[in-house]
Homo-oligomer: A and B are copies of this chain.
């Protein structure tokens, strides 16, 4: 039996083709997360990458992907134009980076009082290797006016209502984030063309921020002279109270601020929660840690509910904005039931909280520690 905080375990697998082990949270739109122990790879394979949709993915069967057209536009785009995927590949330097994406609502199921939205436990995070061109090279080609504020996307997915005038989601990031060298317009994941659920044939990849800004099925990039006002930019979507509120509070729109960088966080991917081990045997424990725009300085583990913490061995990231692998050996002092906790600390010295942090109306940014159960006999 697991303690009340050993989250994300006991997966009921769904039935997504190519992703047999994912846990389906909603069918329409399709959303599915990955049990923690199935995220053990340093580079997340497509089969184990979470699925997050706001609308219905476009039907891209049979298209010529190299003819897919990306429009560059917006008030602050100096030379509005169109580029096919073939032209993108021909005109700009290619870049391959491992970039970590996490849904803004990952961990939402733990909020109390509970909040609406997909009840993600720990599995809406992944770190594949992406190939494409730098968004900043594309933006240079279009020309970014001095008054540019935001870079936003529009996509080919359709609204659940079926209304072609309504976009399911159209979000963006401040210009500075868009211009970072790791922000990509990508056509491949782990060396293969993007899969349909992950944005085939073209998408944005903005590492370290809520996955919602990494627009899939990319059709337009807008250089805006204002904070982007597309679908899911306002109200309670991907926004949290500007100043902390009491759990369950009603928050006015004027006091809601857009989420930027995700927070420091870690995941235990080995062993699987509920694992049994023999007493006397040192137990290998490992996982990943990430910190949004920052690096991870330290990861600690505890087997005594946080009374004491031990350093782990932490590897540098493959590149900036990739998650980092950590591992350690734990040696329970006697047979019995244990919970192993992991706690990461970012480059600024800020730690994951052990439990759910500041409550917010839609349950974003829960970066509480992950815990697994372990039986030693």
Q: Which residues of B contact A241 (CB under 8 A)?
A: 336
A337 touches B307 (CB 8 A): no
A1 touches B357 (CB 8 A): no
Q: Which residues of B contact A243 (CB under 8 A)?
A: 334-336
Q: Find residues 235-255 in chain A having any chain B CB closer than 8 Å to their own CB.
A: 241-249
Q: Which residues of B contact A2 (CB under 8 A)?
A: 246-247
Partner of A306, one of B334, B351, B373: B351
A304 proximal to B (CB < 8 A): yes
A356 proximal to B (CB < 8 A): yes
B353 touches A307 (CB 8 A): yes
- In Å, the complex CA distance between A358 and B242 comes to 37
A95 proximal to B (CB < 8 A): no
- In Å, the complex CA distance between A245 and B359 comes to 31
Q: Which residues of B contact A306 (CB under 8 A)?
A: 351, 353-355
B247 touches A358 (CB 8 A): no
Q: Which residues of B contact A334 (CB under 8 A)?
A: 242-244
A337 touches B249 (CB 8 A): yes
Provide the A335-365 mask, 1 if CB < 8 A to any CB of B, else 0. 1111000000000011111111111000000
Partner of A3, one of B336, B338, B359: B359
Q: Find residues 267-296 in chain A having any chain B CB closer than 8 Å to their own CB.
A: none
Q: How far is the CB of A305 from chain B (nearest CB, A)?
A: 4
Q: Which residues of B contact A15 (CB under 8 A)?
A: none
B248 touches A1 (CB 8 A): yes
A112 proximal to B (CB < 8 A): yes
B304 touches A357 (CB 8 A): yes
24 A-B pairs with C-beta separation under 8 A: A1-B247, A1-B249, A3-B112, A5-B355, A241-B336, A243-B334, A243-B335, A243-B336, A244-B334, A245-B336, A245-B337, A249-B337, A304-B358, A305-B353, A305-B356, A306-B351, A306-B355, A307-B351, A307-B352, A308-B349, A308-B350, A353-B354, A354-B354, A355-B355
Task: A3-B359, A243-B334, A308-B350 are known; give 12 further A-B pairs, CB within 8 A.
Answer: A1-B248, A2-B246, A3-B246, A4-B112, A244-B336, A244-B338, A245-B336, A246-B337, A305-B353, A307-B352, A354-B354, A355-B355
Residues of A within 8 A of B (CB): 1-5, 112, 241-249, 304-308, 334-338, 349-359, 373, 375
